[in-house]
Amino acid sequence: MKIVIVGAGIVGSSAAYHLARKGAEVVVVDKLHEGQATAAGAGIVCPWITRVEDQDWYTLANAGACYYPSLISQLKIDGESDLGYGLVGAIAVSNDETELNEIEKKVRKRQAETPEVGEVNRLSAKEARTLFPPLREDLGAIHVTGAARVDGKLLRDALQKGAAKHGATFYSGEARLEVANGKAIGVYVNGELISADSVVITAGAWALEILEPLGIEIHIEPQRGQIAHLKLPEEDTSKWPVILPQGSHYLVCFDDSRVVVGATRETGSRFDYRVTAAGIKEIMEEALSVAPGLSDSTLHEVRIGFRPNGPDILPLLGKIPSIQGLIIATGLGASGLTMGPYVGTLAAGLALNEEIEVNIAPYDPLRNSIGVK
């Protein structure tokens, strides 16, 4: 069974790894566009403290978070060590006791169903600042120990190296899908046809560009996210928890004295790969209002990523019925580093015509779309 994967962000890299481990012949094609979401993503893996109420979203996000530890173990067995994953916990912060009560109630309910949530503890403002010293002095917190953070670039690279060890091959370039007699027969890259039994489209926000010429109109669009990397020289930030204030902004720490803060959510941005004055203002105001202790940090880098946004909050995952051997896995929006590795396993299963362990009907890639013309 030969399978071509178009797009090697977190979803495509995971699909490639799982397919190669199962013995499939795998070819991955990636253009590495500016603004690949995986390379810019903050990397929070915590679906348990969220305002999202959609059960179909939660099913994949929860499964995605719970899947991480076994994936990390598997990659280590395959000899990969630089994975960027840390079970550092998360704290939801607020100065409103009622708000904290509601968060605690919701997380405790999820904890009862999912042991991976870990311990749930109420922290005083002083206790919260012990875990994250730059935090504002009046913010109480709910601490969830099972939350994690991941460096999307490092995990993506580890999955690709793992896939290569199991025989996957990689092409650099832009793929064009080739269909004949109602069947996906491969892709053209740099003028060469790479033939396949199945093609998996994991092209993130760019997926429509590949499918539209064939009359397949899925609903997917880029949403720009600008995100800043701050450095706190001399501080060991490696164990600091993820900070989740009551809005869409957050703070996430990594090993090298780095605190990542963001991010903008710019719907309608198109593929406009720019750092903007308003973007930086928004990110900095939000971050410093929650963690004034970061005021003197160094602005090290600003990244831009295009989140693949579907017609709603759910991913686009499934086969295109009118074209045999064509699988779509994109639209993971703001949750792709949480769900991506797991969704990659589901896409791999679809490519191998295996039975899938979750009901994927809600994620139909053609929903809210015209379908195939």
- 2 in Cβ contact with 197 (< 8 Å): yes
> 321: burial class by Cβ within 10 Å (0-12, 13-18, 19+)?
exposed
Site for ligand FAD contains 305 (CB under 6 A): yes
Site for ligand FAD contains 7 (CB under 6 A): yes
Site for ligand FAD contains 6 (CB under 6 A): yes
Nearest Cα to Cα of residue 363 among 218, 241, 178, 185: 218
Total chain residues near ligand FAD (CB under 6 A): 45
- 373 in Cβ contact with 322 (< 8 Å): no
CA angle 264, 266, 272 (to 5 degrees): 110
Q: Which stretch binds ligand FAD (CB under 6 A): 48-56, 228-236, 302-310, 351-359?
A: 302-310
- Least distance (Å) from ligand FAD to the CB of residue 7? 3
Max distance between CA atoms of the chain, in angstroms, equals 67
Site for ligand FAD contains 340 (CB under 6 A): yes
DSSP secondary-structure letter at 324?
B
DSSP secondary-structure letter at 238?
T
| Residue whose CB is less far from ligand FAD, 127 or 276 | 276
Its sign, for the CA torsion 14, 17, 20, 22, is negative
Site for ligand FAD contains 29 (CB under 6 A): yes
Residue 188's SS3 state is strand
Q: Which stretch binds ligand FAD (CB under 6 A): 34-42, 233-241, 279-287, 316-324?
A: 34-42
Q: Which of 1, 22, 25, 31 binds ligand FAD (CB under 6 A)?
A: 31
Site for ligand FAD contains 42 (CB under 6 A): yes
Site for ligand FAD contains 202 (CB under 6 A): yes
- Least distance (Å) from ligand FAD to the CB of residue 97? 27
Whether omega before 92 lies within 30 degrees of 0, making that bond cis, reads no
C-alpha–C-alpha distance, residues 193 and 46, integer Å:
41
Q: Which residues contact 261 (CB under 8 A, 6 or more apart)?
A: 227, 228, 230, 249, 250, 251, 252, 283, 284, 286, 287, 291, 294
For the segment 67-126, give every residue that binds ligand FAD (CB under 6 A).
Answer: none
- Least distance (Å) from ligand FAD to the CB of residue 94? 19
Among all residues, whose Cβ is closest to ligand FAD? 336
Tokens 């997926």 belong to which residue?
Answer: 207
| Residue whose CB is less far from ligand FAD, 3 or 42 | 42
Site for ligand FAD contains 33 (CB under 6 A): yes
Q: Which of 86, 134, 146, 204 binds ligand FAD (CB under 6 A)?
A: 204
C-alpha–C-alpha distance, residues 231 and 253, integer Å:
10
Site for ligand FAD contains 225 (CB under 6 A): yes
Q: Which of 41, 89, 318, 362 binds ligand FAD (CB under 6 A)?
A: 41
Its sign, for the CA torsion 304, 308, 310, 314, is negative
Site for ligand FAD contains 160 (CB under 6 A): no
- Least distance (Å) from ligand FAD to the CB of residue 291? 17
Q: Which of 21, 110, 229, 307 binds ligand FAD (CB under 6 A)?
A: 307
What the block records as the tokens of 18 is 């799982």
Nearest Cα to Cα of residue 175 among 318, 17, 14, 33: 33
- Least distance (Å) from ligand FAD to the CB of residue 53? 18
DSSP secondary-structure letter at 292?
G
Site for ligand FAD contains 28 (CB under 6 A): no
Strand 221-231 with 192-195, pairing: unpaired
| Residue whose CB is less far from ligand FAD, 36 or 237 | 36
C-alpha atoms less than 13 angstroms from C-alpha of 16 in its C-beta half-sphere: 33
- Least distance (Å) from ligand FAD to the CB of residue 61? 8
| Residue whose CB is less far from ligand FAD, 140 or 336 | 336
Residues that bind ligand FAD (CB under 6 A): 6-12, 29-33, 36-38, 40-44, 152, 174-175, 202-206, 210, 225, 227, 262-263, 305, 307-308, 330, 332-338, 340
